[in-house]
Amino acid sequence: MEKFMKKFLRSSIITSTVLILLGFLLIFQSETTIMMISYVIGGVLVAIGVLALIRYVRAGESPALRNELDIVYGTVTIIFGIIIIKNYQIIASIIPAVIGIAIIISSAGKLNYAFQLKTEENRMWKTTMILSIISTIFGVFLLFNPFKAAMGIMKIIGVFIIIYAILDLISTIAIKSNVSRIQKAVEETITDAEIVSENDSKEEKKKTHKSKKRKTKDKE
């Protein structure tokens, strides 16, 4: 549990930092940033397509190794990659939705943890829940971005991303400060339960032993 939470929190901090950087790039270098992202995604798709074609050619005449779908898959992937490179506006319309989905998923995890904090009667649960709800609203806005056609809106999206990332960092730090305490409380609860169970078992054995003694006396 504790190791999982540490990995989750570390990942959350890294993600928030990357999003802050992306937000500033979208604010001050919107078009350049979108073009670079398009080149990277398009380049990866072209490379995947080329590898598929190479795999098809290397297979030669061997029916066991040759996959006829490689040539179709490779060609389509290359074309799609070139289209993305040439038309970076496509990426401009996709990025908000992708980031929105990522934010909603992350916020859902933080919201779940807020309920855990509430169960532990930790006063930070309200703050964590409020920040998670606000973050979810940002994610929904990005997912259903009503300004997809305007490149200038990327600056506003950059601001939204930065605000979300800061809120997420605050929420993560709040959760991180309580992980050890919650884990300790859980371990103490488990230990207490084991002690109670052990005591109950001993009492049951004593009662059984006494009952056997009585039955023996009655027979005599």
What is the pLDDT at residue 12? 76
Residue 93 lies in a domain: yes
Give the total residue count for the chain.
220
Q: What is the pLDDT of residue 48?
A: 93
Closest CA to 178 of 132, 113, 84: 113
Structure confidence by residue, pLDDT tens digits, 60-91: 666 656 677 788 888 999 999 999 888 877 77
Whole-structure pTM value: 0.59
Q: What residues make up the domain containing 59?
A: 2-194
Instruction: Note whether residue 174 is domain-resident.
Output: yes
pLDDT over 70 for what percent of the chain? 70
Determine, yes or no, domain membership for 138: yes
59 lies in some domain: yes
Residue 111 exposure: Cα atoms within 13 Å on the Cβ side: 13
The answer to whether the beta carbons of residues 154 and 26 sit under 8 Å apart is yes
Query: Alpha-carbon distance 152 to 169, whole Å?
Result: 27
In this model, does residue 111 exceed pLDDT 60?
yes
> Tens of pLDDT along 189-200?
555 545 545 555
Number of domains in the chain: 1
Cα dihedral 23, 26, 32, 35 in deg (nearest 10): 80
> Does residue 110 belong to any structural domain of this protein?
yes
> In the numeric block, which tokens belong to residue 199?
């005591």
Return the percentage of the chain with pLDDT > 90, whole number: 9
In a domain, 12, yes or no: yes
